[in-house]
Amino acid sequence: LKVRLIDDILEKINNHLPSHIRILGLKRVTGGFNSKNKCDARTYSYMLPTFAFAHKDHDVQEEVYRLDKETLERVNKLLSCYKGTHNFHNFTSQKGPRDPSAKRYIMEMYCGEPFVRENMEFAVIKVKGQSFMMHQIRKMIGLVIAIVKGYAAESIMERSWGEEKVDVPKAPGLGLVLERVHFEKYNRRFGNDGLHEPLEWTEEEEKIAVFKEQYIYPTIINTEREEKSMANWLSTLPIHDFNSSAVEIQANNKNSKNSSDLEGSDGCGDDSD
């Protein structure tokens, strides 16, 4: 697909798009360029209400909760543990512990300073990695929330990278945004060849920030306030068993079912009619 670089091309394209869909920048690339295959890293953000980090033993009103410095430091300490190469088979589906593709490299992960919108405090987690599997980021964040809230011990992170199957909760999908795709190898080879520009978007940073404030953040905030996706998900955390492996949980469930079957056949069920 080729595009003629006519005058004011961005403005002319955007005039035909709805206001919540914008083209913010345009750069010439090499022939046969494939954005998926040439991408060597991705950065995602995850916006969430900070009451998600309140300890489970504290009675917290969602709108008045404010994240303290000590808790934010602990969150960032836990998030930084993901840096490097780990086996994330417990953070996705249909991947075994010895599947080489379950190993992923995380370059950075941190939570920014909290801010208030619509009387509720939010924060944004950023994560940059070579590539991600389905549900991986949501489970990475879900596990940190479970630890900070006091449902799981910090040691579960090391366990989750081992071969055993660990129960890792998956945080809500609301708030997850693809922030940027990185083309660092491409930039080193072609970015300064005199014909092409580096695929970087520093000049568009201000427009991106304005767009997020106008459309992305309000959508996340309003949906959270109306549907309470985070609050509803947090109520499911006590159901998870962070001390047992998934194999032990399945065995316990099977034993419970067998026990109930025996009780039901002991003249106390429908047979007694």
DSSP 35-97: HHHH--EEEEEEEEEGGGGS-TTS---TTT----HHHHHHHHHHHHTT-EEEE-GGGSSS--T
pLDDT at 78: 98
State how far the Cα of 187 lies from the Cα of 123, in Å rounded to an integer. 31
pLDDT at 266: 35
8 A C-beta contact, residue 126 and residue 108: yes
Please work out, in degrees rounded to the nearest 5, the angle formed at the alpha carbon of residue 108 by the alpha carbons of 104 and 113. 140
Please work out, in degrees rounded to the nearest 5, the angle formed at the alpha carbon of residue 140 by the alpha carbons of 103 and 145. 155
Cα-to-chain-centroid distance, residue 255: 35
pLDDT in tens, the chain (273 residues): 566 677 788 999 999 999 999 999 988 888 888 999 999 999 999 999 999 999 999 877 788 999 999 999 999 999 999 999 999 999 999 899 999 999 999 999 999 999 999 999 999 999 999 999 999 999 999 999 999 999 999 999 999 999 999 999 999 999 999 999 999 999 999 988 878 889 998 899 999 999 999 999 999 999 999 999 999 999 999 999 988 655 554 555 555 444 444 433 333 333 333
pLDDT at 28: 86
8 A C-beta contact, residue 43 and residue 127: yes
pLDDT at 62: 80
Domain 39-186+195-241 has CATH 3.30.70.660: yes
Strand 41-49 with 120-129, pairing: antiparallel
Does pTM surpass 0.75? yes
Residues tagged in the binding site annotation:
44
pLDDT at 197: 87
pLDDT at 83: 98
pLDDT at 250: 52
The C-alpha torsion from 23 through 29 and 34 to 35, rounded to 10°, is: -40
What's the N-to-C CA distance of the chain in angstroms? 74
Residues tagged in the binding site annotation for substrate:
44
State how far the Cα of 217 lies from the Cα of 114, in Å rounded to an integer. 13
